[in-house]
Amino acid sequence: MDFFASSSAPQPTTQDSKPAQLAAKKSDSRVDMETLLADCSSSSEDPLPVSQRPQRPLSPPPMSSLPMRPSPHKPPPQRTSPLSSAPRSSNASSAHSKRFQVGELKGVMDSDDSGDESEPGPEVIRVLLAQAKADKARKMAPPTKSRAAINKKNSLPKKRMTMGDLLKSANADKEAEAKLQRLTKELEGQTPVKVSESASLELAKKVLGASGEQDEDLEAVARRKTEAMARLETAEKAVVWHFFDEKIPDLPSPSFPKFALPAANWSKPLRSTLPREAAFKNGFVKRIAKSHPLPTEILQWMLDDLCSEEDGELMHSYLDTFGAASSTSMLGVLKPETIRSLFTKLGAKTSSTDTVPITAEYEAPETPERDISFRVRFIVDLLKRLAMAMPLNTIEVTINILIRLSIDDTIIRNPQIQVAPAISALISALPESSQDVLNRISYSLFDMVKNDLLRQRIISALPITPARAHHFRRQLALAFSLDKSTILGASLANRALFGHCVLLIQQRFALKPTTNYAALTAQLKTLDVAIDAGFDVPPPRRGSPVSAQLIQEHREFNQAVDTLAETVQLFHTSIPGGASHMTRMHAHQAAERLEKRLRNAVRTEPAPSKVWIRAEVADRGALDRFVTVQNRRVQEEEQMVGGAEERMDVDG
């Protein structure tokens, strides 16, 4: 209620004036509510500037203007409050209700005559205020476009297609396809690109003009640039060989042979896919393979699934199961045709698995390596584990295939695929009486591989253990170096082989203007492997005294080594040095390394050092002794002459 509505002093109230007080109280509350609603209505409109807003008094009005409570003896006077003069937007519609409007909001308020009068509560006021603010924000917001207008603006103009447009589009597609095919053929080299002589000359002039050499003779500049490119070997291509095709085949998963399962209880988990995979992964099938022979169809299915499976854990479980299977059960699976089919399914070329000549391929050094299947690593590991269970004919075929696989360019760059341990395991599985198997492999490689670089890569890929593998490697390297297949059956314990190596260096390694220094480097490295610790190495001299025969053997062996080392030294000093030609420098380094190894590692004892000053000192001492002897002889002669003269004087 408004305490400043009357200017008279408050009077004490009595019991008789209670109805009047209640009426006055209701009137005050109604006035306050109407004032508040009027303020809301004014706030919903545009706000006035601060200078035009009505200022409210900061201090209460004087006591003379305050309304006083009515006396109990007289009726209450008419209330004249300044708040009652505020503008109202409500209109009376009946005797019992009153209409009001706040901005765009309208409502009905009960009048004073109703006995049970109700005023708007705080919730109603808050709703009205929120709606008023929303109306104000909506009025102040910029106008928005409808969704239909936006879609109409963003929609593409509809183009009407005619039969002529369709024909033009079809002809353009045909021309683009023909151009693509022509460019593809040109890139593959099937259709060489023909460039006119005048066009190439103009291009050369432009290039030389861009480098600031257009004033010089065109032929001289072109010759000089060609020689520079030859020295730097920018146009040289690397010698490679690919075991696999460019495209990796995508094989479907083979169907499991349920018909081959026995009626035993252990075969029940293998009849469904998920239980079968779980049985392999948890080692159940591996334990069964140790005690029961697995059917051949199951083992063949595992080999086929290795070529198409994606789960590495499952593939490892297959390898463990093969390792646990008995040799008798594996004999029906490990056939030469099976080994060839495994690599063929992985993308191997037909010439890779058969004994056909290996032709070298030439590629730029920056050519990226080919993609091969990751399953190759599992197949190589499987062959290593099954080496002891393979028959002799399968071992021979497998060694041939793995040696060809080892010189593949992608396999050489991939360190995860280790072929040498598998070859070593296969050679170890050969019985002692099967030397003819290795001889046939050596003859096959000698006949099928003629490129010196590929031969050197084969020697580098072969294992050095066990002793049989090392001997096989040395024999093949010596045959490659001397280019004689008769060496393959000869014994390496023959000291005359040093003389063959000397003749090889003097004749076959003779330098010419057309010498291929890359091939020469490969031949020197292959010869280094063939010499190894020497031919017919004598036993070491241990204990004392040493027999004269053993001393003579060491002397002859070291003399043969020194002769070969001097020949190699004369050869590498004749190679034009310098870094102008990289391949020449590599050949020079290979020959120098061989010469140093012969002198410091192959000899059974260090070579005597050559001291030129010692010989000069010895000659000077001999001259001094000669002078001393001559002086003594002269003195003796003088003494003899003097004694004879004295005797003659005495006699006279």
> What residue type is assigned to position 622 of the chain?
A
* Whether pLDDT at 52 is above 90: no
pTM reported for the whole predicted model: 0.60
Mean pLDDT of 608-637: 72
d(CA 10, CA 279): 102
Average pLDDT, the chain: 76
* Whether pLDDT at 9 is above 50: no
pLDDT score for 223: 66
3-state class of 105 per DSSP? strand
Assign 321 a pLDDT band (cuts: 50, 70, 90).
very high
Assign 5 a pLDDT band (cuts: 50, 70, 90).
very low
Q: Which residue has 């037909």 as its token pair?
A: 350
Give the pLDDT confidence of 372-410 residue by residue, as tens digits.
Answer: 899 999 999 999 999 999 999 999 999 999 999 999 989
Q: How many CB atoms lie within 10 A of CB 568?
A: 27
Query: What is the percentage of the chain residues whose pLDDT exceeds 70?
Result: 66
The β-bridge partners of 362 are 239
pLDDT score for 128: 78
Mean pLDDT of 486-506: 87
Give the pLDDT confidence of 515-537 residue by residue, as tens digits.
Answer: 888 899 999 999 999 999 888 88
DSSP per-residue letters across 133-163: HHHHHHHHSPP---HHHHHHHHSPPPPPP-H
pLDDT score for 364: 78
CA atoms within 13 Å, Cβ hemisphere of 439: 11
Assign 46 a pLDDT band (cuts: 50, 70, 90).
very low
Query: What is the percentage of the chain residues whose pLDDT exceeds 90?
Result: 28
pLDDT score for 544: 66
Give the pLDDT confidence of 202-258 residue by residue, as tens digits.
Answer: 555 555 555 544 445 666 666 666 666 655 555 567 888 899 988 888 888 899 999
Q: Domains of the chain: which residue ranges?
A: 15-45+63-130, 258-482, 491-608, 613-652
Assign 76 a pLDDT band (cuts: 50, 70, 90).
very low
Give the pLDDT confidence of 325-349 residue by residue, as tens digits.
Answer: 888 888 888 999 999 999 999 989 8
pLDDT score for 99: 64
Least confident of 80-89, 232-241, 262-271, 426-435: 80-89
> What residue type is assigned to position 308 of the chain?
S
Contact 206, 200 (CB under 8 A): no
Strands 361-363, 105-110: pairing is unpaired
* Whether pLDDT at 27 is above 80: no
* Whether pLDDT at 50 is above 50: no
pLDDT top residue among 326 and 89: 326
End-to-end CA distance of the chain: 189
Q: How many CB atoms lie within 10 A of CB 272?
A: 13
Sequence length of the chain is: 652
Say how far residue 356 (Cα) sits from the centre of its chain. 34
* Whether pLDDT at 88 is above 50: no
